């Protein structure tokens, strides 16, 4: 987890550039799955990390369309799927940030 915090911190405001992450080479375990947010934060900086958070927010707020479903099953299914997706993203980002 220390290495993921280092990766996020070294990204700075604009990051190191696409495919220029150093932490993913030897220091982060499973950088392509478990610590992808740390790699994105290092490569694209605070701006890229904020864009990723905004995308998750748009997906989570997109549940309003599911609430207008004609039946209760559709509304519950949309709410459940959106909640599962948003909670997984929240847990992953929380682990990366410590």
pLDDT tens digits for 66-95? 777 888 888 888 888 888 888 998 898 898
First to last CA, the chain: 7
The alpha carbon of 77 is separated from its chain's Cα centroid by a whole number of angstroms, namely 22
pTM assigned to the model = 0.79
Distance CA 86, CA 78 (A): 12
The per-residue pLDDT for 51 is 94
Distance CA 51, CA 53 (A): 5
Q: What is 31-89 written as a DSSP string?
A: TTTTTHHHHHHHHHHHHHHHHHHHHHHHHHHTHHHHHT-SSHHHHHHHHHHHHHHHHHH
Distance CA 25, CA 10 (A): 15
Q: What is the largest CA-CA distance in the chain?
A: 51
pLDDT tens digits for 3-53? 888 888 888 898 888 987 878 888 877 777 778 888 888 899 999 999 999
């Amino acid at each position: 987890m220390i290495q993921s915090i280092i990766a996020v911190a070294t990204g700075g405001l604009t990051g190191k550039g696409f495919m220029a992450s150093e932490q993913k080479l030897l220091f982060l375990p499973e950088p392509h799955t478990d610590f992808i947010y740390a790699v994105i934060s290092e490569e694209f900086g605070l701006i890229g990390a904020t864009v990723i958070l905004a995308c998750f927010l748009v997906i989570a707020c997109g549940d309003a369309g599911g609430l207008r479903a004609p039946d209760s099953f559709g509304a519950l299914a949309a709410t459940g799927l959106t909640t599962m997706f948003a909670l997984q993203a929240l847990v992953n980002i929380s682990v990366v940030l410590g």
